[in-house]
Structure 1
Amino acid sequence: MEFARKVYEPDKTKRIIIKSPKDVFDLVRSDMEFLQVEHFDVIGLSTKNHVVFKENISIGSLNASIVHPREAFKGLIRRSCASCILVHNHPSSDPLPSNEDILLTKKLVECGKIIGIEVLDHIIVGADGGGYVSFKEQGKM
């Protein structure tokens, strides 16, 4: 057991740096790809885009999750993050953003501007190998 833990346990001294939406997808894919309901997570970043923390904000239903800016930014403020990336999954396998996703993203970006924590991107992960969509790459941010 000790051998397996050392081989498969992530290196705590290695800091994860986010350079692209693909880096985010690689970070969350194994956690989100096979979920049966929507999960909404926030990834807090330092000034150099090191991952400070990843936290689940909401667990919803098959096609919706309720996210309030208060919960989304609470952990970011507490940990003094410089910026963040929003991530949620679509159990339907289709990662294209819904109108609700677009409106929520705009609302959270505005809140981030007010409190001084930049929302860098919103990534939607499709289930069962559906890939991902980046709001930043699509020009929606």
Structure 2
Amino acid sequence: MTIRLPKDEDKHISGTDDIARIMLKILWRQNKIHRKKEYFWTVGLNTANDIDYIELVTIGTSNRNIAEPVDILSLPVSKKCKKIILCHNHPSGKLEPSEQDILFTERITKAAAILGIEVLDHLIITENNYVTIDL
């Protein structure tokens, strides 16, 4: 599902703070009950680091989200997007990446590289803050 960029946001991404601010606004669009689920998004960027799309890939449970490389990489491949940012929320409010988060990031980064797609970042957001998973 393609997500609309918040109206007050520029499409150009200068760094992690820009994408985190946008993704926090997108998370806050959900009502409080729905924010208790784990969401996984991809953000596709063009070569000038402008947002081409934001896609909601999956909605999980309160502590789990199942996404496969094909789910995550099908839209960037179809749009011939060369750069993506991964983002998911932790409804628990804990920012520390789990071992599964780290392994998943490594798996997606390798799969994307085979397709010529660069994973620039993987953000974990809560309702108020964010961290990145080291690539």
Shorter-chain TM band:
0.7 to 0.9
- Taking only the aligned residue pairs, the percentage that are identical comes to 32
Report the Cα distance in structure 2 between the residues aligned to 1:123 and 1:96, rounded to whole angstroms.
11
User: What are the superposed Cα offsets for residues 83-116 of structure 1, whole Å, 9 maximum, x if unpaired?
Assistant: 0000000001112110000000000000011000
Q: Normalising to structure 1: TM-score of the pair?
A: 0.83
Query: Is 2:59 the partner of 1:27?
Result: no
Report the Cα distance in structure 2 between the residues aligned to 1:80 and 1:21, rounded to whole angstroms.
22
Query: Is 2:96 the partner of 1:110?
Result: no
Displacement of 1:10: 2.4
Greater C-alpha Rg: 1
Q: Give the count of matched residue pairs.
A: 125
Displacement of 1:15: 5.2
Q: Name the amino acid aligned to 1:116.
A: G
Report the Cα distance in structure 2 between the residues aligned to 1:89 and 1:15, rounded to whole angstroms.
22
Displacement of 1:82: 1.3
Q: Normalising to structure 2: TM-score of the pair?
A: 0.87
User: What are the superposed Cα offsets for residues 45-76 of structure 1, whole Å, 9 maximum, x if unpaired?
Assistant: 10111100000111101111001000101110
- Structure 2 counterpart SS, 1:71: helix
Aligned equivalent of 1:96: 96
Which segments of 5 or more consecutive residues in structure 1 lack a partner in the other structure?
Answer: 1-8
Which 4+ runs in 1 deviate beyond 3 A?
A: none
Which segments of 5 or more consecutive residues in structure 2 lack a partner in the other structure?
Answer: 1-5
TM-aligned CA distance change 1:45 to 1:114, over 3 Å: same
Aligned equivalent of 1:48: 48
Report the Cα distance in structure 1 between the residues aligned to 2:132 and 2:10, rounded to whole angstroms.
23
Report the Cα distance in structure 2 between the residues aligned to 1:59 and 1:88, rounded to whole angstroms.
10
User: In the TM superposition, what are the counterparts of 1:13-92 in structure 2 within 5 Å?
Assistant: 16-33=11-28, 35-92=35-92
